[in-house]
Structure formats: C-alpha cells, structure tokens
C-alpha cells in the first residue's frame, strides 16, 4: 500500500462512475472492457511473496513456492479455484458430489467430517478458511496466488502439514480507477464484474469489487428436461487501507460470497447387464436414453438436489513500525454455511416403493446443513531484515465451532442426526535467519501448539434419541531448519528439514457411536527433507527452479469406504493409515527469449505410496487372488506398496504468452497452455475400476487491447480438443447387490467451450 493517497478526483465522481458501471453490468447490453496488460518488461520481473510472513523475493526464500499474478490469472482464464492446477506443479484438485479435495505432492485430506481438518491450508488475505470446501469459490480481483509445497506448520499452523495456498487480493489504488467486465461462453455462462478504487483522504484508500454469474449445467436430466451441474454465484468485497501516522498502517476487509450448484450429480460410467438396486429394482428403466461411458452427460433423476455455499468474513490488520521492528496484529472472524441435498440412488426409480411394498414411493435422498464460525487472533513481531540476524516471533489463537445435521431416507438405511464440534488452539512460534557470510545463511523456526477439541452427537433414529459427547486435548511441537547458499549472484541452493503436524479430530458421520466419542482419530505427523535450486541466467531472461523432496507421514488421516453389514451399504470412515511416503522432483522453468514472448513450464514427478496399512478394507469384489483375506468376520487387505488416491505420478504444465502489435492503436496478447496428468485412482483401497486414465488439456486465448480507450476484448477456448475426464469415479457395488455400477463426476472443464470477455477500465 502506498504511504499516502493523492486526492485524485472527487469521491462523488468515483461513486457516480461505479453506479454507472453497475447499471451497465446489470443490463449487460453495452460493451464493457478494461485496459490490457502493460507492455512487456525487459527480462523477467521480480516476484515478491510472503511465504515466510515477510515480503521477500521468491528467488531468495528456501521454500518450494509457485506464484501466479493478476496478469497470468487473466491470460490463462483462472476464474475458479480449481483452475489453479494449471500453474502449480504437484497440485491436484478432485471433486465429488459431496466434497472436494486439495492435494499437494500427493497428500491431502478427503473427509466429510466437520471434525477433521485439511492438510492443505487455504488463506485469503490472512484469513484461513474453516473447511476446505469453503475455498471453492470464484477468484475475483486477485493480486497473486502463492502455492507453498511441503509442511508449512512453523509459520502457518497445524492444518498446513502438506502445504499452503495463499491468496492475496488487490490493495487500494493511489489514484481513482475502476473497471467493468462482461463474459459470455458457449456453455451458457454469463458473468459480470465491476470494481472501483482510489483515495478517500490523503491517508486512506478504498477498494470495492463485486461480481455475479450464472451458468447452465452440462448434464441433462432426461426425467425433467432440466440441465444439472450449473451454478449461480455472486460476491462482494470491500477494503479500506489506511495510514494515519508515519509508523502505523492497516487494512480492514469485509468479504461475502455465495455459490449455488444444481447438483452436482454423477453420471453412469459403466453398468453391467441385469444390475438391480438392493437386488429389488432393475436399473434398466433408468437407462432409457442414457449411454454409460466416459462421455455420458445424461441422467434420469427424480431429486438431483443442490449444493449451496455461503461465506462471510471480516479481517483487520495493523502494522506498527517501531525503531527496528514491526508489530503486527491480525484479527479475523468468518461465518460459513453450506447445505447439501443429494440423490443417493442416482436414478428416478421407485426404490422406496419396492422396499415398503407400495406404502411409500420415491427414491432415497441425503441432506444436511453445515454451519461453521471461527475467530482468530495473531500477534507478530518482525525485525526489519537489514542485519545479519533477522527474526520474527508470534502468538496465535483460534476458536472454531461447527454444526452439522444429516438426514437420509425415507425408507432404507435411514439416518437422522445432528452434531457439533469445537476446536480451541493456542500457539507460539518463532523463526530466525542468521547470515554466516553474505552468501551463506541458516534459517530455523519452531512452533508450540496446544489444542482442545470436543464433540456432541445426537442420533435421532432410535425411538429415544441417543447423545454421545467427548473431548480431547493435545500438545505438539513442530519445526524447520534450512541452510541456503548463493553460488553466484543469481543462483541459490538450499536444503531443509521440517516436521509437520495435523491435530486429532472426531469422525462425525453416520455410524458415530460411543467408541468414536471416546477415541478421536489420532494426530497426523510428518518429517520432510527437501533440496532445492533457485536460479536466473542469461541476463535475467531464464529462470530455473527445482526441488527434490522426501516426506514420511505417520498416522495419516484418510477416509475410506466401509461396508455396514446391518444395512449392506457402504459408509465413509476416517481412519489413521499406518504410514506413507511421498517423494519426488519438481521443475519449473520460465524463459523470456525476447521481450514479447514469455514461456513457462513445470514438471512434477511424485511417488506417493502407502508404506504401512495392514488390515485395510478390501475394495468391492476383491478376491483372495487379488489380496483380500479373511480376518475373523471381516475381509481385509494389506495396502503397503499401493499408491495414494488422487496422486498422479506425473503432472506437466507448459504454456506461452506472446505480445504483438495490431496496427497503430491496438496491441494483442496470445496465450496457449497445455496441462497433463498421468493415471490416478480415486479409491484409497486401490480399486482398479476407479482409475482415471492419463489425459492432457489444451487451453488458449487471444486478446486485443485499445490502450487509448481503455478497452480490451478477449476470445478464449477451454479444452480445445474436447477431451473428457472425470474428477471422481465411484464403485456402487454394494448398493447394486454385487454389480460394479460405476459413477463419475464430469467437471465443467471436461468439455470444450469458447468464451468472450469484454473489459473497460478507467
């Protein structure tokens, strides 16, 4: 933020222009656009990150970090959170009908439970999201995104044992500016965005940004004729930056966003002949007009349901500059609501009628709202970074409360419960850097964390409701040490060792009982080694960053599907996998051979393997020859040596951006990028039927910019060669009484669409 804000044009003029832009955006008739990106610079620009909670050049920090700035966000059409996989090696995002999962280097946490934290922390303007699903909203008015890979618990806390995704929004502008934008696509998306920013006084600035969008779905419900998996969204962010004195500055940010999805629903990938729901109802009538397969976008459903995500947050940051230090206070509060209704049987068949022999009719649905609230307070003291010994230290407090209810029915495998969980954590942390020589320095940090968790679960299915309650506390110490050395002016190598920790949690889901209340899922710990290179060559025109990593996890928290012998249905259970290892190599290359051409590429090879998990559940239909053996009344397998779910071995991203003149008044920008990932399984039990084969996607755009009139028009295409792929495959073996009926979730980006975006900026 600038130290002062010029008076610029009157604020009343800014408000008038904002109102005009809003009116234009509402009617979506005139052409709106914005200035294109500034002309290309000489060589590669310096990238500033806050990976160590202080502003530093990305090339100077001993952390594997990828960044994407506002220019790349626009050129590569990064609008949704899931689009970030285009720019970060070893980042994978999977989505299923009930949840989404972020993994880094093959490690994440996929769980429905409100009592289990994620392994990858998502932070927006110093606000850590409560539940990972909360992060899956639109990215609007973003300055940059940083993806930190590997354990980051020393500075970012216990729910960052696999990494951090740090999202930074734009600051207030020094002079009055604003923009309006309209986008339309061939798959029937309409999106409007507008913003305004400038000074209020000589020491205070503001920024307002709003968006609204609607998209028709790509899945056709043949029962009703409706399109499913479409969504509508809206959001508003207000920011105030202020500097009342030469030594005190701060910011206040209020944010609200909503996203409503019609579904999301899965389609049938494979259906064996004669399959019957619960051995009662043949599935054949639900396949009329439906051709199961990887391109199937037709379903027959009586109640496809919806997913409604709504979040609000307020954060305040103060920085008080002392003589040689800066004291920082960050206070945040957020409120997140989520409601889900899903068609459990995936069809419009009268399963309830068959079960009740005509007493009731319809299908089986599951539904239940979530409500989470969190308050955090952090205090940091940071040295000015000018000496041979630089350091920071801090205190952190967080209090979270989660509520969830769930109902499934109406006639079979009935579930009806509500639950609440709490988490209160306090931590003290510090990190210091010492320069042995101008070229050699050591960086070390430690964090002490104490937390208390509690749960209350009421099962309303019995005639008399039953309630269980439990509480647990735990202490943990994590740390990191890194040694780095500058081989030359532009080449730095480093080696680091870090420990990670993710706290204990309660598996709050159907099937919760007294034993779960007494014994929460144990904490997850990790030990990570990393060797890295950060370098620039050829007069700052070539950047090569690389990392080798080896991380061991103990008591890894993972969700698997378990058969309930009482209902003959599978339930999701969070358990501790004995041990796993993820190791591999990452390479990122950026080149600018001429000022008008930027080339970027990244490659990640990740071997994420379970090293110890005896007595794991067998996958549906697994035979003794395939490793499934009897153990008492159960059948189990040993998963040692098997790959983790949602952990492709290879990920490749390549892209280029070309700036060109287009006559006397116009300039152009062309972008083409390709991303590939190797095959991956979606089942922790290594079910071979739930494997998505390797695939590659090509995206591109071309933009014309009239700088003199502040107008920019962009034409873009997603999935140029129309390659279909899924982000979830499920085997519904038990529900279909021994038939491997496979369902899949086809995301929007799994088919080709083209779009045009018109932007105006003043």
Nearest to 136 by CA among 91, 92, 101, 88: 101
pLDDT-derived band of residue 273, with 50, 70 and 90 as boundaries?
A: very high
pLDDT of residue 3: 41
pLDDT-derived band of residue 263, with 50, 70 and 90 as boundaries?
A: confident
* Contact (CB, 8 A) for 407 and 368: yes
- Give 577's contacts (C-beta < 8 A, 6+ positions apart): 553, 555, 556, 557, 558, 610, 612, 613, 616, 639, 684
Q: Quickly tell me which residue has 């007009």 as its tokens.
A: 289
Helix (H, G, I), strand (E, B) or coil at 394: strand
Q: Could you tell me where the beta strands, DSSP code E, fall in 565-596?
A: 569-594
pLDDT of residue 9: 40
Q: Quickly tell me which residue has 């990887």 as its tokens.
A: 294
Q: How many CA atoms lie within 13 A of 195 on its CB side?
A: 28
* Contact (CB, 8 A) for 155 and 396: no
pLDDT of residue 532: 96
- Compute, in degrees rounded to 10, the torsion defined by CA atoms 394, 109, 165, 445: 30
Nearest to 511 by CA among 386, 590, 408: 408
Q: What is the CA radius of gyration of the chain?
A: 26
pLDDT tens readout for residues 481-495: 999 999 999 999 999
Q: Quickly tell me which residue has 């230290």 as its tokens.
A: 393
Percent of the chain past pLDDT 70, that is, above it, reads 92
The domain spans of the chain are 11-612+643-761
Token representation of residue 254: 């209020």
Q: How many CA atoms lie within 13 A of 564 on its CB side?
A: 14
Q: Quickly tell me which residue has 């701060």 as its tokens.
A: 250
Task: Give CA–CA dist 625/254, Å, rounded.
Answer: 58
Task: Give CA–CA dist 87/103, Å, rounded.
Answer: 14
Task: Give CA–CA dist 394/397, Å, rounded.
Answer: 10
Chain length of the chain: 762
Burial of 165 (0-12, 13-18, 19+ CB in 10 A): buried
pLDDT tens readout for residues 519-546: 999 998 999 999 999 999 999 999 999 9
pLDDT of residue 380: 96
Task: Give CA–CA dist 181/138, Å, rounded.
Answer: 15
pLDDT tens readout for residues 334-391: 999 999 999 989 999 999 999 999 999 999 998 989 999 999 999 999 998 888 999 9
Task: Give CA–CA dist 508/499, Å, rounded.
Answer: 27
The DSSP bridge partners found for residue 235 are 211, 257
- Asked if pLDDT for residue 320 goes beyond 90, the answer is yes
Indicate the helix (H) or strand (E) that contains 248: strand 248-261
pLDDT-derived band of residue 421, with 50, 70 and 90 as boundaries?
A: very high
Q: Spell 236-247 as b/e; 16+ CB within 10 A means b.
A: bbebbbbbeeee
Token representation of residue 247: 């030594």
- Asked if pLDDT for residue 22 goes beyond 70, the answer is no
pLDDT tens readout for residues 662-699: 878 889 999 999 999 999 999 889 999 999 999 999 99
Nearest to 423 by CA among 396, 456, 400: 400
Task: Give CA–CA dist 557/402, Å, rounded.
Answer: 19
Q: Spell 34-55 as b/e; 16+ CB within 10 A means b.
A: bbbbeebeeebeebebbbbbbe
User: For the chain, how are helix, strand and coil distributed in percent, rounded to 5?
Assistant: 10, 55, 35
* Contact (CB, 8 A) for 105 and 90: yes
Phi and psi (nearest 5°) for 323?
-60, -50
- Asked if pLDDT for residue 19 goes beyond 50, the answer is no
- Asked if pLDDT for residue 98 goes beyond 90, the answer is no
Cβ neighbours, 10 Å, residue 626: 12
pLDDT of residue 572: 66
* Contact (CB, 8 A) for 372 and 130: yes
Token representation of residue 303: 């109640």
- Asked if pLDDT for residue 35 goes beyond 80, the answer is no
Tell me the mean pLDDT in the region 119-134: 85
Sign of CA dihedral 457, 459, 460, 463: negative
- Asked if pLDDT for residue 31 goes beyond 60, the answer is no
Task: Give CA–CA dist 498/163, Å, rounded.
Answer: 12
- Give 192's contacts (C-beta < 8 A, 6+ positions apart): 25, 26, 28, 180, 181, 182, 183, 211, 212, 213
Task: Give CA–CA dist 252/254, Å, rounded.
Answer: 7
- Asked if pLDDT for residue 559 goes beyond 80, the answer is no
pLDDT-derived band of residue 563, with 50, 70 and 90 as boundaries?
A: low
pLDDT of residue 110: 65
- Asked if pLDDT for residue 26 goes beyond 60, the answer is no
Tell me the mean pLDDT in the region 260-268: 93
Report in angstroms the alpha-carbon separations of 607 from 489, 550, 585, 642, 651.
Answer: 33, 9, 9, 10, 12
Q: Over the chain, what is the mean pLDDT?
A: 88
Token representation of residue 683: 């089942």
- The pTM assigned to this predicted structure is 0.88
pLDDT-derived band of residue 86, with 50, 70 and 90 as boundaries?
A: confident
pLDDT of residue 535: 96
Token representation of residue 531: 């060797």
Q: How many CA atoms lie within 13 A of 761 on its CB side?
A: 15
- Compute, in degrees rounded to 10, the torsion defined by CA atoms 408, 413, 418, 419: -120
Task: Give CA–CA dist 551/608, Å, rounded.
Answer: 9
- Asked if pLDDT for residue 37 goes beyond 80, the answer is no
* Contact (CB, 8 A) for 72 and 63: no
Phi and psi (nearest 5°) for 719?
55, 65
pLDDT of residue 41: 64
Helix (H, G, I), strand (E, B) or coil at 501: strand
* Contact (CB, 8 A) for 242 and 217: no
- Asked if pLDDT for residue 590 goes beyond 70, the answer is yes
CATH number of the 11-612+643-761 domain: 2.40.170.20
- Give 530's contacts (C-beta < 8 A, 6+ positions apart): 64, 150, 494, 495, 496, 497, 498, 547, 548, 549, 550
pLDDT-derived band of residue 562, with 50, 70 and 90 as boundaries?
A: low
- Asked if pLDDT for residue 157 goes beyond 50, the answer is yes
Burial of 643 (0-12, 13-18, 19+ CB in 10 A): buried
Tell me the mean pLDDT in the region 744-750: 94
Helix (H, G, I), strand (E, B) or coil at 132: helix
pLDDT tens readout for residues 723-739: 999 999 999 998 898 89
Nearest to 277 by CA among 743, 674, 676: 743
Higher pLDDT, 449 or 100: 449
């Amino acid at each position: 933020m600038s130290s002062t804000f010029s008076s610029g044009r009157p604020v009343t003029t800014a408000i008038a222009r904002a109102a005009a832009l809003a009116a234009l955006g509402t009617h979506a008739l005139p052409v709106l656009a914005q200035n294109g990106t500034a002309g290309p610079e000489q060589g590669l620009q310096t990238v500033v990150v806050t990976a160590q909670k202080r502003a530093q050049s990305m090339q100077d920090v001993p952390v594997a970090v990828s960044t994407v700035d506002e220019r790349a966000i626009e050129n590569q059409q990064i609008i949704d959170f899931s689009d970030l996989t285009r720019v970060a090696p070893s980042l994978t995002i999977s989505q299923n009908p009930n949840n989404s999962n972020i993994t880094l280097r093959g490690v994440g946490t996929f769980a429905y439970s409100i009592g289990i934290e994620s392994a990858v922390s998502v932070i927006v303007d110093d606000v850590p999201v409560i539940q990972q699903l909360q992060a899956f909203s639109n990215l609007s008015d973003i300055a940059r995104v940083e993806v930190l890979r590997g354990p980051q618990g020393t500075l970012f806390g216990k729910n960052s044992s696999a990494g951090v995704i740090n999202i930074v929004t734009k600051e207030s502008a020094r002079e009055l500016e604003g923009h309006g934008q309209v986008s339309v696509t061939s798959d029937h998306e309409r999106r409007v965005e507008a913003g305004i920013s400038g000074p209020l006084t000589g020491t205070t600035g503001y920024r307002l940004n709003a968006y609204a969008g609607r998209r028709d779905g790509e899945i056709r419900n043949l029962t009703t004729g409706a399109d499913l998996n479409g969504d509508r969204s809206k959001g508003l962010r207000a920011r105030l930056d202020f500097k009342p004195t030469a030594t005190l500055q701060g910011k206040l940010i209020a944010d609200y966003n909503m996203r409503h999805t019609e579904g999301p629903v899965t389609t049938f990938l494979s259906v064996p002949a004669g399959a019957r729901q619960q051995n009662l109802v043949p599935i054949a009538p639900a396949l009329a007009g439906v051709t199961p397969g990887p391109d199937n976008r037709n379903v027959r459903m009586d109640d496809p349901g919806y997913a409604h995500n709504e979040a609000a947050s307020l954060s305040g940051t103060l920085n008080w500059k002392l003589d040689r230090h800066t004291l920082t206070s960050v206070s945040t509060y957020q409120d997140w609501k989520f409601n889900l209704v899903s068609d459990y049987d995936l069809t419009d068949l009268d399963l309830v009628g068959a079960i009740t022999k005509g007493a009731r009719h319809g299908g089986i649905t599951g539904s239940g709202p979530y409500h989470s609230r969190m308050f955090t307070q952090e205090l940091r003291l940071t040295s000015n970074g000018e000496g041979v010994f630089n350091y920071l230290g801090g205190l952190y407090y967080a209090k979270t409360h989660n509520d969830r209810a769930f109902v499934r029915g109406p006639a079979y495998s009935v579930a009806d419960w509500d639950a609440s969980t709490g988490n209160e954590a306090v931590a003290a942390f510090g990190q210091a850097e010492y320069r042995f020589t101008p070229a050699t320095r050591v960086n070390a940090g430690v964090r002490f964390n104490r937390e208390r968790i509690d749960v209350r679960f009421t099962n309303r299915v019995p005639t008399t409701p039953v309630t269980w309650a439990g509480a647990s506390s735990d202490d943990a110490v994590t740390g990191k040490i890194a040694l780095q050395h500058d081989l030359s002016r532009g080449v730095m190598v480093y080696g680091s060792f870090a420990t990670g920790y993710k706290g204990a949690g309660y598996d709050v889901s159907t099937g919760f009982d007294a034993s779960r209340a007494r014994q929460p899922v144990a904490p997850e710990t990790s030990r990570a080694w990393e060797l890295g290179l950060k370098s620039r060559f050829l007069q700052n025109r070539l950047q090569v960053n690389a990392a080798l990593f080896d991380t061991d996890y103990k008591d890894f928290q993972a969700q698997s599907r378990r058969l309930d012998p009482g209902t003959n249905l599978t339930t999701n259970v969070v358990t501790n996998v004995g041990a796993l290892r993820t190791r591999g190599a990452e390479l990122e290359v950026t080149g600018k051979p001429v000022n008008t051409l930027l080339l970027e590429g990244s490659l990640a090879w990740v071997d994420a393997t379970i090293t110890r998990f005896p007595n794991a559940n067998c996958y549906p239909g697994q035979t003794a020859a395939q490793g499934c053996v009897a153990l008492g009344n159960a059948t189990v397998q040993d998963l040692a040596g098997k790959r983790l779910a949602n952990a492709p071995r290879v990920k490749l991203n390549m892209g280029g951006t070309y700036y060109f003149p287009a006559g006397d008044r116009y300039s152009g920008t062309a972008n083409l990028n390709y991303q590939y990932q190797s095959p991956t399984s979606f089942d922790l039990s290594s079910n071979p039927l739930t494997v998505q084969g390797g695939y590659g996607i090509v995206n591109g755009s071309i933009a014309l910019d009239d700088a003199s009139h502040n107008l920019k028009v962009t034409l873009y295409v997603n999935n140029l060669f129309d390659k279909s792929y899924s982000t979830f495959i499920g085997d519904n073996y038990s529900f279909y009484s021994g038939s491997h009926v496979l369902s899949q979730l086809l995301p929007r980006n799994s088919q080709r669409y083209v779009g045009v975006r018109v932007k105006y900026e003043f």
